[in-house]
Structure 1
Amino acid sequence: MQKQTLFLSSLLAFCFIASAAFAQLQSPEEFLGYELGDRWTPHHRVLSYVSHVAEHSDLATIQQYGTTNEHRELVYLIITSRDNHENLEEIRMNNLRLAGLEDGEPTENKKAIVWLSYNVHGNETSSSEAAMMTLFELVNPSNSESKQWLESTVVVMDPMINPDGRDRYVNWYKSVVGTTVNPDPAAREHREPWPGGRSNHYYFDMNRDWAWQTQKETRHRIKVYHQWMPHVHVDFHEMGYNSPYYFAPAAKPYHSVITEWQTEFQTMIGLNHTRYFDEEGWLYYTREVFDLFYPSYGDTWPTYNGAIGMTYEKAGGGSAGLAVLTETGDTLTLKDRLTHHHVSGMSTVEATANNADRVVSEFEQYFDDAVNNPAGAWRSFVVKRDSDPDKLYHLLKFLDSQNIRYGTAGSSDNTRGYDYSTGQTGSVSISEDDIVVSVRQAQGQLARVYFEPNPELSDSLTYDITAWEAHYRFGVEGFALESDMTPEMGITPEDVRTPVNSGPERPYAWLVRWDSMDDARFLAEITEKGVKSRFATRDFEINGEQYDRGTLIIPRGNNTHLGDRFDDIIRESAANHERSLTGSATGFVESGSDFGSNTVSFIQKPSVAVISGEGTSSLNVGEIWHYFDQQLGYPVTLINTDDFARTDLSSFNKLIVPSGFYGGVLSDSAMEQVSTWVRGGGTLITVGRANSYFTGRNGFQLERKAQDAEEPKVDEMLEPYGDRARRSAANSTPGSIFNVKLDTTHPLAFGYDEDYFTLKLSSDSYNYLSSGWNVGTIRDDAWRSGFAGAGARPMIENSLSFGVQNYGSGRVVYMIDNPLFRGFWENGKLLFANSIFLVGN
């Protein structure tokens, strides 16, 4: 009995010691069972480790803020001192009061806030490994220096922004690597297959989505960002494996709203990094390539929200694997990459903590200046209330998502301003119900970025598109004013559209106007539910009401198969999409065509296929996929290019060919297959670069626009080698806005006015169709906003943007410009819906 008692006592003592040991904070190596850099840590184990730290350190807390499309958890951590944790809500609210985003006076408890964002690009994997190392060092009980930093600083850490893309990459790599890593760049483990892990589930580049928030991961994250409004934000990336390390200060051009302090502190942080990098002999560079202009990056969008926004880039990327030989003969390892990101992350926290008081005061000054001393010439932006209500509704929803305030003009006025529709400055008329956005508000700088007619560009060599103005993007009318207007607050998005139902309970036909993507969503829903619809190809009048071309006419006679469910489906779907319904007791019209006329076209139910896979642009495939799956709510079938030649197209009546390079993918026999299918009645839709593959082939009428040949001038021939990039830019446009004239009598343009504003992503241009319908054309003097080189503008002017060719019994829709680019060009989306539902019927 005594031996048994001793044994039990010993066992209990052992269990207590083991339990205590297990409860202790562990380093990543102790917790994971391997050294960071030896292998990749998948999302669920990264999540386990950061949760472990939050559980066993009183300096860290963790919070889930959403899930991805593939149901992986998105989390962020708050790392700061014990005292700060006890007063965290006071600190957070104080910061929002400093920015003028919350009412009330802040207390003296103000702390610098640093936000560290990791792995927005899934195949730039080292940063999530670095996040675990940085997290541990910030809370490490033996690190007295970091504890001192956390007294004056709150660190917000998002360890993995894009877990879907990252796990796609990591799982692929593990499936192709052997026992020994092969650093030879020619090895298959360095040749990531389509679509790669860079993007999220829908193949979107989420580092271009901060402002537009088209992706659910971004929307979840921005809600948390707005709760904190950090003073410093770092986005960790990787670039080509032969590059060294890039950190702030950023390259020019800077957007003109960026303040001297934001520029100065970028440099201060960069110089702090150099102390550590110089000591280790690590190569780095600054002030090149990565500029601060396009507003939807992880460095620019935070900058326009008052932060010091920065991108850090380490050599690596999807081609680096766990180890790769560089051009210098050195071996770059995952360990190297994560270590450098760890050092720059810790250095950022250190530099911020050492300047915490000024960081906070300059942040407050940024928002104070926005209200009391706004920069730039433009003081107010007007959106005409008589713009399409749906487009106006979505613009206001966007402004709400950005914390930008707006209101009505309150009174009528005649003044001078820039008219977005004409591109001219002159006399403009403002009505009392027009909506006004003043730059004299907390988010005034951000409002200016979104609305200024033509952002000032100090250098033509930029990293991304140079135009995104909100009137053009949403398709609304309005003006920019140099004078101040104080809006009357109180209007909401819901106030600008008020759906109305009228007519008999059981009408002869239901009528729904065709003006916006919301109408297309309604049509998509009722079509999926079995409703058969028609649309007017001519304007008509009934019961004293005028209806434009494109109006949906949904007759009871075509839907007897639905019985009593017919009216319920229409009403429920209209309510779902806030559509106005008019019930007509007759098919006889006062002018135009009666509902039974052949000019009232039957909408054949679209069966849509999209080519995807090698040779296609994964980004454009993702834009199309997301458009159908998440925006339109209509089924689409993605067909791999490898399988295309074996696919029976007879079950589809719409085929979309995304932007891409098809020379090595679609064979001559596959092209003949497509041609035969179109001649038999199909509708082919070609987007962006895909159009070049169809130029002059198999009866396709599209022709490239030839550039006028000129004898080279002597000064051009003697131009220095160092100016080659600038000379090339003169013939390009990285993304600018041009006016397109639409033929509104063609179904592709139904729901639009004559003037549409397109986003031109290159100077590649095509002639007007000699035999076909030139539905969207760019004429002379069509440029509106953004950089377009002196050689690019003549190529773009007098060229085709959108065309339709009859081809046998079928149609070809040429979309030279991509209306779905990054999912944010809202006014282009109805064009795509028209090509699916209306063209070919």
Structure 2
Amino acid sequence: MAKLFLSFITTFAFFISATAQLKSPSEFLGYELGTQFTRHHEVVDYYEYLAKEAPDRVKLTVYGKTNERRPLLLAYVSSAENISNLESIRQEHLKDTEAGGDTSKAIVWLSYNVHGNESVSTEASMKTIYELLTSKSQYLENTVVIMDPCINPDGRDRYSNWYNQYKNTPYQVDYNSKEHHEGWWNGRSNHYMFDLNRDWAWLTQVESQQRLKVYNEWLPHVHVDFHEQGMNNPYYFAPAAEPYHEVITDFQRDFQVTLGKNHAKYFDANGWFYFTKEVFDLFYPSYGDTYPTYNGAIGMTYEQGGSGQGGLGVITAIGDTLTLKDRIEHHFTTGMSTVEVSSQNAERLNTEFKKFYDNQNFKYKSYVLNGDKDKIDALKSLLDKHKINYGSPSNGTVKGFDYTTGGSGSMTTTNNSLVVSTNQTKGTLVKVLFEPNAKLSDSLTYDITAWSLPYAYGLDAIASTSLVSANGAAEQISSSDISPDSYAYITDWNSLKDAKFLADLLKAGIRVRKADHPFSIEGQSFERGSLIITKGDNQHKNDFVEVLTTASQKYDKDITSSMTGFVDSGKDFGSSSIKMITEPKIAVLSGGPTSTLRFGEIWHFFEQQLYYPLTVIDDEYADQVDLDEYNILILPGGRYGNHFNEKQLQKLQQWVRKGGKIIAMGGAIEALEGENGFGIAKKKMENDSAANIPSPHKNSERERIKDAITGAIFKTKVDNTHPLAYGYGKDYFTLKLGNASYSYMNSGNAVYLEENTKPFSGFAGSEAQKKVKESLVFGVENFGAGQVVYMVDNPLFRGFWENGKLFFANALFMVD
């Protein structure tokens, strides 16, 4: 007994000694936490220090790198026993998704700093991990805490470096001071100016792709996404606001309340202000709270007032001084409270997690899709990233909800069709991502209300209430017949992959033509937009056939060789209708009136999707640039108003008349209106006297949404004889993000809304529907020898509306 007691004393003394040796963040960094913004490499240093000094309780891994080569970290924090058994805990936990696990550990994932200038959370993470390892280590006996100290290192360092450059010494609390006003490219976004908090489902960014690989290996019980909001707002924590998506379980709702009440206990004791059940809903699936929720977690957003406005300290609208130290303390408190409650409820969390995966029973059992091979492949790639299973059905007919008509219908399936069913581990996520029209419990939402993947990927689809049996997805094999002795080589034009293929050829100096009319040759038929590469056009390239072969293999392209340019029907290859594609020399406007998000979508599209060069011209010096060096100018969406003065508009007009092409997107179109601009004009609305009747102030927010479109899907008409619409059918489902409305043009209306403007999916207010009926979506105005391409809706929005990207490629390559 004496030996046992001595052993206990020795072990306890060793623990106290090891704990006492750990340096706090302030001790390690050499300054009091909250008096400086810690650069990302210093944060990494501290986490590495803890992993080195407490290797039995901290496991640190690098799960990836950012575009700017900063490491992405995860710290696993728990008791020594749990860390030594970490892999077996993970595997046993994942068995719960199949109702077969036997574990009592709570898995809590804390994500910090997804928005770079919401920088307090990374600071709070260092205090949180230190206290978990010291004063609150009892929470770790039955809990594994996974901490991502900085999801967005590139954005964080952009902000912290900017702030350290411009702040007063030590700092200025007057909000008018420069240190509270970031410039155009602020720290919120990642390298490509994407909002990583809206990318969890779409996975367009490297940070998201690398994080989800690890997230899906754990599927935690609880996930918290730490944020900041405007500096004058009190703290927000769960429970969330309506609408909740209908798949969210009663337990997930109730546990948010349990956590919120525990947070409130600490905030009440300190006299801190907070709010719940407002603003931040649980609907749009690509957030750091909703995506985990749809994978079985208690997913939550915590919002501290401050953000990039806060700096090290600022006087708020009510005259209080909000400091970085205050902000750290608030995030630290909710973080520790989350771990505390999770530890207290570990058994319940495990039980309910099993139920989440065991009780999936949805109206639609299978989603069956037909369409272009490239679009099917693009969807498969996304499903693979989410670990969603799919297969190929037997040949036959499937009945159910028809996405194209919005009613009952049927579809003939082949071995090349795709089936995605809800009877799988990720069944809830499948329902959320594929359902035709997500059910809204409240039309006041924080984000878009429609995203259904069949519409986003441009695929024909049937949602079946019966389970459609499927085998492994069939592999569609492309074939190419690139004979060196051929007269010409022909391939189709249907997808972004085709545009990548063309871009590669143009970069390699290959000359390519396009067909402006359907044709048939040697027994095969080809549609408008088909690419024709002739030997005669490329006699200057000794390695012509080799380059063509390499590109076709790279992009899995079917190439048809022809021994003649004499067609069976249509236009011969020497016709003026078989036009040479002009090599695009592209410039894009940045800064000034442009939205960083809209600019970033274009930047990312060229560099990470199309792989084609573009020149970024900032608004500060745009007047000094000779536009004659370029043949395409892209104006990203933004707030332009009357940004271009009369002289600048005349310069643009002269450039277009000489053969230049403007691609104006979203808000940029407004800058080209008017007598001194181009031909585009806003729709004139008839006055509705009923709209002028006063309504009670309490209804003002409800009244405003009558004129709003919160990301809804509309069915549009397509003139696929127009070069802007090559590769499309007669209909296109567009994601409309607002009520901007432009009249039909005299000609060039490639995509447009007709009179019936009820959305197929998502919310659109009654007045907004009236406003957008019979309006332009995409169109081209000929102006002298050049063109202006108008894109009222954004085909590159957040990089996930896959079926819109060919319109943008057409604007680059096909419109002439």
TM-score normalised according to structure 1 size = 0.93
8 A Cα contact 1:420 1:453, kept in partner: yes
Amino acid at match of 1:448: K
Aligned counterpart, 1:781: 756
Choose the corresponding residue for 2:484, options 483, 505, 508.
505
SS at match of 1:764: coil
Q: Does 1:379 align with 2:365?
A: yes
Amino acid at match of 2:427: G
Q: Does 1:419 align with 2:402?
A: yes
Aligned counterpart, 1:17: none
> Matched residues in 1 for 2:577 and 2:468: separation?
49
> Matched residues in 2 for 1:685 and 1:806: separation?
12
Choose the corresponding residue for 2:576, options 598, 604, 617.
598
Distance 1:342 1:825, change over 3 A: same
Distance 1:697 1:74, change over 3 A: farther
Q: Does 1:489 align with 2:496?
A: no
8 A Cα contact 2:394 2:413, kept in partner: no
8 A Cα contact 2:115 2:156, kept in partner: yes
Aligned counterpart, 2:530: 551
Q: Does 1:402 align with 2:386?
A: yes
Aligned counterpart, 2:4: none
Q: What does 1:321-360 align with in structure 2 at a 5 Å threshold?
A: 321-360=311-350
- 1:250-301 residue CA offsets vs partner (Å, 9 max, x unmatched): 0000000000000000110111101110110000000000000000000000
Aligned counterpart, 2:798: 822
- 1:468-521 residue CA offsets vs partner (Å, 9 max, x unmatched): 01111000101112x2214323116xx1x3210125233212212111000000
Distance 1:411 1:807, change over 3 A: closer
Distance 1:22 1:111, change over 3 A: closer
> Matched residues in 1 for 2:395 and 2:107: separation?
42
Choose the corresponding residue for 2:632, options 642, 645, 654.
654
8 A Cα contact 1:247 1:313, kept in partner: yes
Shift of 1:411: 5.1
Choose the corresponding residue for 1:393, options 377, 397, 400.
377
> Matched residues in 2 for 1:834 and 1:590: separation?
26
Compare 806-815 and 575-584 and name the one that shifted more.
Answer: 575-584
Q: Does 1:644 align with 2:622?
A: yes
Aligned counterpart, 1:457: 440
Aligned counterpart, 1:222: 212
Q: Does 1:533 align with 2:518?
A: no
Amino acid at match of 2:284: Y
Percent pairwise identity = 48
SS at match of 2:760: strand
> Matched residues in 1 for 2:653 and 2:694: separation?
48
Q: Does 1:793 align with 2:775?
A: no
Q: What does 1:129-528 align with in structure 2 at a 5 Å threshold?
A: 129-140=123-134, 143=135, 146-370=136-360, 374-375=361-362, 377-384=363-370, 387-410=371-394, 412-413=396-397, 415=399, 417-426=400-409, 429-430=412-413, 434-481=417-464, 483-491=465-473, 495=475, 497-502=476-481, 504-528=483-507
Shift of 1:675: 1.2
Distance 1:401 1:272, change over 3 A: same
> Matched residues in 2 for 1:586 and 1:41: separation?
67
> Matched residues in 1 for 2:451 and 2:391: separation?
22
Amino acid at match of 1:39: Q
> Matched residues in 1 for 2:769 and 2:364: separation?
26
Aligned counterpart, 1:66: 64
Shift of 1:698: 2.7
Aligned counterpart, 1:8: none
Compare 173-182 and 336-345 and name the one that shifted more.
Answer: 173-182
Distance 1:664 1:333, change over 3 A: farther
Aligned counterpart, 2:83: 85
SS at match of 2:679: coil
> Matched residues in 1 for 2:19 and 2:537: separation?
70
> Matched residues in 1 for 2:454 and 2:324: separation?
45
Shift of 1:580: 1.2
SS at match of 1:530: coil
Aligned counterpart, 1:700: 678
8 A Cα contact 1:409 1:486, kept in partner: yes
Amino acid at match of 1:249: P
> Matched residues in 1 for 2:19 and 2:562: separation?
74
TM-score normalised according to structure 2 size = 0.96
Amino acid at match of 1:27: S
Amino acid at match of 2:258: M
8 A Cα contact 1:413 1:431, kept in partner: no
> Matched residues in 2 for 1:804 and 1:194: separation?
30
Aligned counterpart, 1:94: 92
Distance 1:640 1:432, change over 3 A: closer
Shift of 1:667: 2.8
SS at match of 2:609: helix
Shift of 1:428: 5.0
> Matched residues in 1 for 2:553 and 2:723: separation?
26
> Matched residues in 1 for 2:673 and 2:549: separation?
45
Distance 1:428 1:514, change over 3 A: closer
- 1:604-651 residue CA offsets vs partner (Å, 9 max, x unmatched): 110000000121100000000000010000001110001111110001
Q: What does 1:16-95 align with in structure 2 at a 5 Å threshold?
A: 24-57=21-54, 58-95=56-93
8 A Cα contact 1:117 1:236, kept in partner: yes
- List alignment gaps of at least 5 residues for structure 1: 1-19
> Matched residues in 1 for 2:159 and 2:646: separation?
33
8 A Cα contact 1:55 1:61, kept in partner: no
SS at match of 2:274: coil
Shift of 1:110: 3.7
RMSD: 1.6
8 A Cα contact 2:168 2:179, kept in partner: no
8 A Cα contact 2:143 2:343, kept in partner: yes
SS at match of 2:540: helix
Distance 1:768 1:133, change over 3 A: same
Distance 1:23 1:249, change over 3 A: closer
Tell me how many residue pairs correspond in the alignment. 798
SS at match of 1:462: coil
> Matched residues in 2 for 1:434 and 1:653: separation?
41
Distance 1:414 1:162, change over 3 A: closer
Aligned counterpart, 1:13: none
> Matched residues in 1 for 2:534 and 2:137: separation?
72
Amino acid at match of 2:180: H
Choose the corresponding residue for 1:711, options 683, 689, 693.
689
> Matched residues in 2 for 1:62 and 1:209: separation?
25
Compare 252-261 and 170-179 and name the one that shifted more.
Answer: 170-179
- 1:51-76 residue CA offsets vs partner (Å, 9 max, x unmatched): 11111112111000000000000010
SS at match of 1:201: coil
Aligned counterpart, 1:123: 117
Shift of 1:380: 2.0
Amino acid at match of 2:334: S
8 A Cα contact 1:675 1:698, kept in partner: no
Q: Does 1:582 align with 2:560?
A: yes
- 1:451-477 residue CA offsets vs partner (Å, 9 max, x unmatched): 111110011100000000111100010
8 A Cα contact 1:411 1:433, kept in partner: no
Amino acid at match of 1:139: L
Choose the corresponding residue for 2:105, options 96, 107, 111.
111
Aligned counterpart, 1:6: none
Shift of 1:792: 1.2
8 A Cα contact 1:503 1:585, kept in partner: no
Choose the corresponding residue for 1:744, options 717, 720, 726.
720
> Matched residues in 2 for 1:736 and 1:67: separation?
34
